[in-house]
Amino acid sequence: MTFKNKYISAATFFFMSICITFSATALAAEYSVIVGFHQQPGQPEQDLIRRAGGTVDRVYRLIPAIVARLPEQAMAGLRENPLVAYVEENQVVKTIEPPYIAMIQKPFSIESFAEDIEYQDAWGVQHIGSKEAHDKGITGKEIKVAVIDTGIDYNHEDLDANYRGGYDFIFDDDDPIDDSWNSHGTHIAGIIGAEANGTGVVGVAPEVSLYAVKALDSAGFGTLGTIVAGIQWAVDNGMDIANLSIAGVDSQVLQEACDAADAAGVLIIAAAGNTFGSPAAFPGAYDSVIAVTGTDPADQRGFYTPIDPAIELAAPGLGIRSTAQYNGYIEQSGTSQSAAHVTGTAALVMAAGVGDVNNDGLVNNLDVRQRLQITAVDLGEPGRDEQYGFGLVDVSEATAAPTVTSISLVREPTWSESLKITTLEDAFYPITIENDSLAAVLVLVVENDRLRADLITVHIFNSPGENYPQQVTFDLDATGTAFQLIFIPFGSIGAFADITIQNKRERSEH
């Protein structure tokens, strides 16, 4: 199918979706639905759909569900079947439309980056510290990102070297070209991974591997079915990150798909929605998804952004210049653009080697998510809040190797010899005590020469040799202050433990 034919054919997709979805008219005898089952559907479940007078359109593997077309009169009976968990309308979803804005004042002068033409037109990429990572050779190489959107113009001079393939779930073929009226998918792809080639703009992760998963048509519309199919594709094809910028609905099938992808190790990053102070959109509002809001060059919340406790991170979203179809460049605004900045940052964190941030013995998407949280620059109310989440994503800090302090704590003949004292300043510190033979460790915290009674902890261990985990991990947040830690060992002379303290965040100014 040629690009032109796709563009013309796509114009009918929204109309057909409406006809299918709202098929109570005499002209449309069937509803498009998603049927969830209590177990992975096989032939018996497909036969059940057919016996009800329906047609099977798609069988998912990521979640136990089938997309089908069913007569209205079959709905009630199917819902009562013991094999069926739910029957949902295959509702229409759409891209998050960019709000209109006037020109904005960029946060730096052209002269200051005269030698870096691409950064001049990508203020958001520069603002979150991406160039510092690029200068260290951290560019997102070999990290796989699925852009679940309207497709990508993979012929674009700023994207062609990073494009690796994908799939088109609107036309069910392997040509996910972007045919959208506003180049939505191409614009998002450029923010994530436009090449550092001296032309146009540069992306947050300029050597990332981009995959186009076309789940939305030329008008920016799709269905729950095409979105879930795109998420499944991301899992099946080993994507590290999936970027979603849709205004969906709170749906069991969508939540199950996001939860399953998250459990499979895919980091899901979504726009929080341009809701103008209303709650965040789905799927961003789900716990398994990172919901991203938008900020301006002064790090203020965009007028179009949501207010919701589900918001996790903030990133530039106002007046973002990026790639458009036919080797073009356009400026757009919205939380879609913000989510793309976070997706690129996550790719850089993965490329830099995130490590076991949460100390669970694994290195996976959960570690990347926590790394993004603890390195974000706090905005608004102290701590996580409903306007900025944990704060503005910070590439330079998120990709910096954490400082690690190791202490050997030994029970010496005298108490003065046994004590270990260290200072923690203006950072977030996960602390691990790996015990060998001590009976207990007392941790005292002193701030401004005063004992912090609320932070005193005692860690008691079983006798050596017993089948008991001899490791404890706890956190101390010294952001904006300084703590003196005093470790006091208890046990027999010569008993010891190893202590590891990681500096997970240093303050950063923007």
CA distance readout (Å), 194 to 44, 130, 165, 368: 47, 13, 16, 22
Closest CA to 495 of 410, 408, 417: 410
Which residues lie closer than 8 Å to 86 by C-beta, 6 or more apart?
35, 36, 79, 252, 253
Class of domain 114-398: alpha beta
Rounded CA gap, 464 and 253, in Å?
A: 49
Is position 356 annotated as part of the catalytic site? Answer: no
Which residue among the candidates 32, 130, 134, 149 is catalytic per the annotation?
Answer: 149
Angle at CA 398, nearest 5°, toward 393 and 403?
Answer: 145
Is position 184 annotated as part of the catalytic site? Answer: yes
pLDDT at 22: 41
Token pair of 185, please? 């998918």
Q: Provide the strand spans (E) within 306-345.
A: 311-316, 320-324, 328-332
Q: SS3 for 220? A: coil
**Averaged pLDDT, 361-389:** 93
Rounded CA gap, 34 and 68, in Å?
A: 6
Q: Which CATH superfamily is 11-90 part of?
A: Peptidase S8 propeptide/proteinase inhibitor I9 (3.30.70.80)
Which residue among the candidates 23, 336, 338, 418 is catalytic per the annotation?
Answer: 336
Is position 336 annotated as part of the catalytic site? Answer: yes
Question: Do 486 and 399 meet the contact criterion of CB atoms below 8 Å apart?
Answer: no
Over 80: is that where the pLDDT of 160 sits?
A: yes
Over 70: is that where the pLDDT of 102 sits?
A: no
Treating both helix axes as pointing N-terminal to C-terminal, what angle do 335-352 and 184-193 enclose, rounded to 10 degrees? 30
Maximum alpha-carbon separation in the chain: 91
Rounded CA gap, 376 and 342, in Å?
A: 11
Q: What is the pLDDT of residues 423-455, one digit of tens each?
A: 998 887 889 999 999 999 999 999 999 999 999
Q: What is the pLDDT of residues 467-493, one digit of tens each?
A: 555 888 888 988 889 999 999 999 999
CA distance readout (Å), 383 to 13, 108, 389, 467: 44, 28, 8, 38
CA distance readout (Å), 77 to 24, 34, 42, 88, 378: 18, 15, 20, 14, 52
pLDDT at 163: 98
In the chain, domain spans: 11-90, 114-398, 403-503
Q: Which sign, positive or negative, has the C-alpha torsion 299, 321, 145, 232?
A: positive
Token pair of 84, please? 């069926």
Cβ contacts of 56-62, under 8 Å, gap ≥ 24: 57/32, 57/225, 58/225, 58/229, 60/228, 60/229, 60/232, 60/257, 61/232, 61/236, 62/228, 62/231, 62/232, 62/235, 62/236, 62/257, 62/260, 62/261, 62/264
Class of domain 403-503: mainly beta
Q: What is the pLDDT of residues 290-329, one digit of tens each?
A: 999 999 999 999 999 999 999 999 999 999 999 999 999 9
pLDDT at 470: 81
* Beta-bridge partners for 434: 471, 498
Rounded CA gap, 147 and 134, in Å?
A: 22
Question: Do 340 and 191 meet the contact criterion of CB atoms below 8 Å apart?
Answer: yes
Which residue among the candidates 127, 156, 184, 187 is catalytic per the annotation?
Answer: 184
DSSP character at residue 100: P
